[in-house]
């Protein structure tokens, strides 16, 4: 009777252990199947953060701040004014450059006009020389006719001496006329060296004065800082009345529609990562309810420690191995970012599908397009060209259709 409870206890223990072993085996097989069919095709990390173009707004010229037209969290369009500096000095400098260009154009016009006057002078001197040479020829003929007749008495000595005197006078006048022609030609050549091969608009003096106008015009335009791209303002540090120098950071502009993710994978995870692989991402700000889709666009050229300000020096006796991480850039779907906006620096969880191994682990083709670009500053140079052309044309005696552009900086 006493052995029956013990046997039942042992049987129950064996059944329990069998059930546990069976559950563990089933769980192991399930995990193995899941790993073989799914998990081994993905590399994941939660060490990932949103990144983007963080553009510092810095002035190209120094000055005193007179207006701040955008603040933190504001959205601005490309070309929209952000900060205005006192432009009085730049305005005066532009007016001086404008006056100098106008004077230079008129001086160069005078050079070209002098050429015509000097050509007429040369023609006049050449006509005088021809007349003097004709008088010299007649005087020489008179002397030649009278000289044989002097010995016969047909011509008196006094008359012959008078003819000889006229010949000498004509020879002297012809010599003087020849010298005058030579001097006039040299003056013409000297004047033409200032104008040959060019026009009033392309004359070096005009171009030099025009460059000064360009410089002053751009300095005036740059007294207004504009947004180089669409984005949101952050880290405004500038204040009204502040005297700032060229290059001083005033605020930051972030393009939240052009974001990507830098995912830091362990070095042991890099073996299967390839450019072009698809990725799914979750942001902590939205949780698992929102899934972003991206593409691997590149793998970093080194670990974060290698590019640190003070790189680790492992050739020491107290070295401890630390698993390194390499940044992997993942491009996001712009439509998904628009639907669920992100901010720079937010944490992400990344899962990359590594089943496709057709891509390369390192980029080997140069970039064909710029990473980022802006055209908002191109108009400044175009307006400066139009402003210079208006000044030159006005001082040449005619106007151009773009004359209105020249009044813009003066009304700044």
| pLDDT at position 101 | 94
Q: Is 23 part of any domain?
A: no
Q: Is 392 part of any domain?
A: yes
Q: Is 50 part of any domain?
A: yes
**Share in percent of the chain as helix, strand, coil (round to 5):** 50, 20, 30
Q: 152 and 205: one domain?
A: yes
Q: Is 313 part of any domain?
A: no
Q: 130 and 207: one domain?
A: yes
Q: 230 and 328: one domain?
A: yes
Cβ–Cβ under 8 Å, residues 67 and 225: no
Cβ–Cβ under 8 Å, residues 317 and 258: no
Coil, helix or strand at residue 226: strand
Per-residue pLDDT of the chain (412 residues; tens, 9 = 90+): 445 677 777 777 777 778 888 888 878 777 676 556 555 678 899 999 999 999 999 999 999 999 999 999 999 999 999 999 999 999 999 999 999 999 999 888 888 777 677 777 777 777 877 877 787 777 777 667 666 666 666 666 666 677 677 767 777 877 887 787 787 777 767 666 676 777 888 888 899 999 999 999 999 999 999 999 999 999 999 999 999 999 999 999 999 999 999 999 998 889 889 999 999 999 999 998 899 999 999 999 888 778 777 777 777 677 778 888 999 999 999 999 999 999 999 999 999 998 888 888 888 888 888 888 888 988 888 999 999 999 998 888 765 444 444 444 544 3
**Residue 67: enclosing H or E segment and its boundaries?**
strand 63-68
Q: Is 176 part of any domain?
A: yes
The domain total for the chain is 2
| pLDDT at position 120 | 77
Q: 115 and 98: one domain?
A: yes
Q: 164 and 228: one domain?
A: no
> Which CATH number characterizes residue 386's domain?
1.10.287
Q: 240 and 277: one domain?
A: yes
| pLDDT at position 326 | 92
Q: 294 and 181: one domain?
A: no
| pLDDT at position 109 | 84
Q: 93 and 79: one domain?
A: no
Q: 212 and 64: one domain?
A: no
Burial of 259 (0-12, 13-18, 19+ CB in 10 A): buried
Q: What is the DSSP string of 334-357?
A: HHHHHHS---TT-EEEEEEE----
Q: 111 and 62: one domain?
A: no
| pLDDT at position 49 | 96
Q: 216 and 228: one domain?
A: no
Q: Which residue range is the domain that position 394 belongs to? A: 88-222+377-411
Distance, in Å, from the CA atom of 307 to the CA atom of 102, rounded to the nearest integer, reads 56
Q: 99 and 211: one domain?
A: yes
Burial of 314 (0-12, 13-18, 19+ CB in 10 A): exposed
Distance, in Å, from the CA atom of 148 to the CA atom of 163, rounded to the nearest integer, reads 13
| pLDDT at position 1 | 46
Q: Is 13 part of any domain?
A: no
Q: Is 359 part of any domain?
A: no
> Which CATH number characterizes residue 343's domain?
2.40.50.100
Q: Is 200 part of any domain?
A: yes
Distance, in Å, from the CA atom of 32 to the CA atom of 334, rounded to the nearest integer, reads 37
């Amino acid at each position: 009777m006493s052995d029956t409870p013990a046997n039942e206890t042992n049987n129950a223990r064996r059944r329990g252990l069998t059930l546990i072993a069976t559950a563990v085996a089933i769980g192991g097989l399930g995990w193995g199947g899941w790993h073989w069919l799914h998990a081994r095709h993905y590399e994941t990390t939660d060490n990932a953060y949103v990144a983007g173009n963080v553009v510092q707004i810095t002035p190209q010229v120094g000055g005193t701040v007179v207006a701040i037209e955008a603040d933190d969290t504001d959205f601005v369009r490309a070309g929209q004014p952000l900060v205005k500096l006192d432009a009085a000095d730049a305005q005066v400098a532009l007016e001086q450059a404008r006056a100098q260009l106008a004077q230079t154009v008129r001086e160069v016009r005078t050079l070209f006009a002098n050429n015509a006057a000097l050509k007429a002078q040369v023609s006049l001197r050449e006509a005088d020389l021809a007349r003097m040479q004709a008088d010299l020829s007649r005087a020489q003929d008179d002397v030649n006719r009278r000289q044989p007749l002097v010995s016969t008495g047909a011509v008196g000595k006094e008359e012959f001496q008078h003819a000889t005197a006229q010949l000498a006078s004509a020879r002297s006048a012809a010599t003087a006329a020849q010298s005058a022609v030579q001097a006039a030609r040299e003056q013409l050549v000297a004047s033409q060296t200032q104008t040959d091969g060019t026009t009033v608009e392309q004359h070096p003096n005009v171009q030099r004065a025009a460059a000064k106008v360009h410089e002053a015009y751009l300095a005036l335009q740059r007294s207004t800082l504009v947004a180089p791209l669409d984005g949101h303002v952050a880290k405004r540090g500038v204040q009204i009345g502040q005297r700032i120098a060229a290059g001083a950071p005033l605020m930051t502009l972030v393009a939240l529609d052009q974001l990507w993710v830098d995912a830091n994978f362990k070095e042991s995870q890099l073996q299967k990562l390839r450019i072009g692989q698809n990725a799914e991402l979750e942001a902590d700000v939205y949780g698992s309810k929102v899934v972003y889709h991206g593409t691997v666009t590149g793998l970093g050229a080194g670990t974060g420690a290698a590019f640190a300000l003070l790189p680790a020096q492992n050739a020491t006796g107290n070295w401890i191995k630390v698993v390194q991480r390499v940044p992997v850039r993942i491009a996001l779907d712009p439509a998904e970012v628009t639907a669920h906006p992100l901010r720079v620096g937010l944490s992400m969880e990344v899962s990359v599908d590594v089943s496709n191994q057709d891509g390369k682990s390192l980029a080997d083709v140069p970039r064909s397009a710029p990473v980022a670009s802006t055209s908002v500053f191109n108009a400044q140079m175009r307006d400066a060209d139009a402003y210079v052309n208006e000044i030159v044309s006005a001082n040449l005696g005619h106007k151009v259709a773009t004359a209105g552009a020249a009044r813009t900086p003066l009304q700044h």
